[in-house]
Amino acid sequence: MPLYNANCKINIHLRITGKLPNGYHELETIFQEIPLYDEIEINSNSNGNINFESTGIFIPEGKNICIKAAEILKNEFNITYGCNILLMKNIPIGAGLGGGSSDAATVLKALNDLWGLNLTEEKLELLGIKLGADVPFFIKGGCAAATGIGEKLTSINPVLTDGYILLVYPNIHVDTSEAYRNLNLNLTKNSQNGIFALALKSSSDVHLKYDEFINDFESYVFKEHAEIETIKNALLNKGAEFAAMSGSGSSVFGFFRDELKLKNAKNLIDQNYFVKAVKV
């Protein structure tokens, strides 16, 4: 079966700017894919069934988002074919890394090819938003500034380059809905931050100051889970040029220019955590 890599993402910047009547939140964020990925083997079958198996990190029971992605395409275009999906789960679940959304986007793109649908990227993004707010980004990939609920995307040059990402997931579950409920929306709407506007307007290299990036979730999550803030501070103290929590947590990443500093920082991280270093 063809093998596809489903990269995870980090949020370099994340501000919540409002709440819509349907319950979704409006935001401004900068997504960047990094090369930590789930692996998906998928092929088409003629019996019309969608078959799904997984290995690796345990996935909670329930209909997996990969199945939902395949069903959307089948139902939308009256496809008689089915598919066989084997997901090798490497990205921690519920960690703010978008692993499930990436898996869904990868299935949409793979079946678009395998079933000969010839759908444009824009059409796949419209289908993807039905599965989750982050899915359109993974259709596009790379690095993007996003507004709306995350679906209005502008591709930009990667913000973090020529270095290394040290990713730390401390096995702490942060309830995303609870994190949203505890945001002070009046504060986030009224605060001004020009770095996002600078990134959004530019498709070429610009000088972005790392200390101007914000994650609005950090204030609440750090208050509830001091261990996560400790990890961020440890990465900065050990030579990271930039560190932040991704999404609503609980993963934290540090960006290092110096490989030796990265290795020293990695050696000091609790070995009971999920820890991964990648080059960007």
Residues forming the active site: 9, 134
**Cis peptide upstream of residue 250 (ω within 30 degrees of 0):** yes
**Residue closest to 163 by CA, chosen among 107, 108, 240, 219:** 240
Residue 116 φ then ψ, to 5°: 60, 40
As a whole number of angstroms, the distance between CA 93 and CA 78 comes to 32
As a whole number of angstroms, the distance between CA 206 and CA 27 comes to 22
| Residues 274, 168 contacting (CB under 8 angstroms) | yes
CB atoms within 10 A of CB 177: 9
| Residues 196, 28 contacting (CB under 8 angstroms) | yes
Residues 6 or more apart whose Cβ sits within 8 Å of residue 202: 156, 157
Residue 46 φ then ψ, to 5°: -100, -5
